[in-house]
Amino acid sequence: MSIIIDEHTRTIVQGITGRNASFHTKLMLGYGTKIVGGVTPGKGGEEVAGIRVYDTVKECLQKHPDATVSSVWVPPGFARDAILEAIDAGIKTVVVITERIPVHDMLYVRECAREKGVMVIGGNTPGLISPGKSLVGMLPRITFKPGRIGTVARSGAITYYLANSLNLAGFGESTSVGLGGDPILGANFEDILHLFEADPATDAVVMAGEIGGVYEELAAPFIKKMTKPVVAFIAGKAAPQGKRLGHAGAIVEGEMGTAQSKIEALSANGAIIAQTLSEIPELLRRRLA
């Protein structure tokens, strides 16, 4: 078992003919991900890595009605439309690789998705992986191994280093989910924690957050209700206040977005706080013992 994707999941790739998308389509296929079609408007009929390209998601799903997951790789100005297209066509999980999607667009997309019961992951997510089963996105396969720890993080690289630290210590992942680095996200920590809590193949969860936004704080109350241990790592404790660090999601805004606020909220609700990546396996081991 795993969450969201497994060895049976059929996926499609929106924007498949782009440089990154076509490159990672090959890597995903190499990993065993079942990609049944791609979509690029105006390129219907072409092929990428042996995968048929369609003009619209609707047409693609007419040919492949068993596809339930789409990854979106289009430029930010087209992301809103591509996500809405996937939702409208009946896709159940949309993994949005595209970064820097306008905030108003994501607010609109979130509403449509919630209304239709669709999970949107991202934007600016590296994707997710259920090791040994399926990989949707661009996570480096080398660092992920099958196991019983669920991970969820906002940053792509931290997702990789988390798995790397776990694996070097003998752990593996049931599923690793990247939430994405954009300021407004589809799925948030709480959504994913719910899934891990219900997943029989997951024994514990590691979540990694960072300064900016409120998703860590919003998830804290649910952690208290969970039966499974949660280890949390928060980046940005040493970040200078008021300095803009890279993507917009990392602006320190108000009292709620600080590393301190997040750590306090998580810790107060029973999460185990990790100061470094390398201590995470030990913290897990102690709680799982």
Q: Which of residues 102-161 bind other proteins (CB under 8 A)?
A: 102-105, 107-108, 110-112, 124, 126, 137-143, 153-158, 160-161
Region binding other proteins by CB under 8 A among candidate stretches 1-9, 192-200, 233-241, 265-273: 233-241
Instruction: Give whichever of 36 and 112 is closer to other proteins, judged by the CB atom.
Output: 112
Question: Among residues 261, 165, 268, which one has the least CA distance to residue 210?
Answer: 261
Q: Cα-flanking dihedrals φ and ψ of residue 33, to 5°?
A: -60, 135
The binding track of 179-218 with respect to other proteins, each residue x by CB under 8 A or -, is --xxxx-----------------------x-xx-xx---x
Active site residues: 247
Instruction: Give per-residue burial for 183-211: e unless 16+ CB within 10 Å, then b.
Output: bbbbbbbbbbbbbbbebebbbbbbbbbbb
Closest approach, Cβ 243 to other proteins, in A, equals 5
Question: Among residues 147, 158, 206, which one has the least CA distance to residue 180?
Answer: 158
CB atoms within 10 A of CB 224: 11
Question: Among residues 231, 233, 237, which one has the least CA distance to residue 270?
Answer: 231
Question: Among residues 233, 238, 239, which one has the least CA distance to residue 262?
Answer: 233
| Helices and strands per DSSP (H, E), number in the chain | 9, 14
Site size for other proteins, by CB under 8 A? 84
Instruction: Give whichever of 120 and 205 is closer to other proteins, judged by the CB atom.
Output: 120
Answer for which of 52, 100, 145, 148 binds other proteins (CB under 8 A) is 100
Closest approach, Cβ 23 to other proteins, in A, equals 8
Instruction: Give whichever of 157 and 198 is closer to other proteins, judged by the CB atom.
Output: 157
- Identity of residue 102: P
d(CA 97, CA 102): 14
Query: Scanning residues 29 to 88, which ones bind other proteins (CB under 8 A)?
Result: 41-45, 55-59, 76-78, 81-82, 84-85, 88
Instruction: Give whichever of 58 and 194 is closer to other proteins, judged by the CB atom.
Output: 58
Pull the structure tokens for residue 5.
Answer: 């994707």
Query: Scanning residues 234 to 253, which ones bind other proteins (CB under 8 A)?
Result: 235-240, 242-248, 250
Instruction: Give whichever of 200 and 240 is closer to other proteins, judged by the CB atom.
Output: 240
CB atoms within 10 A of CB 168: 12
d(CA 75, CA 82): 10
Closest approach, Cβ 19 to other proteins, in A, equals 8
Question: Among residues 155, 148, 153, 126, which one has the least CA distance to residue 3?
Answer: 148
Closest approach, Cβ 227 to other proteins, in A, equals 27
Closest approach, Cβ 108 to other proteins, in A, equals 4
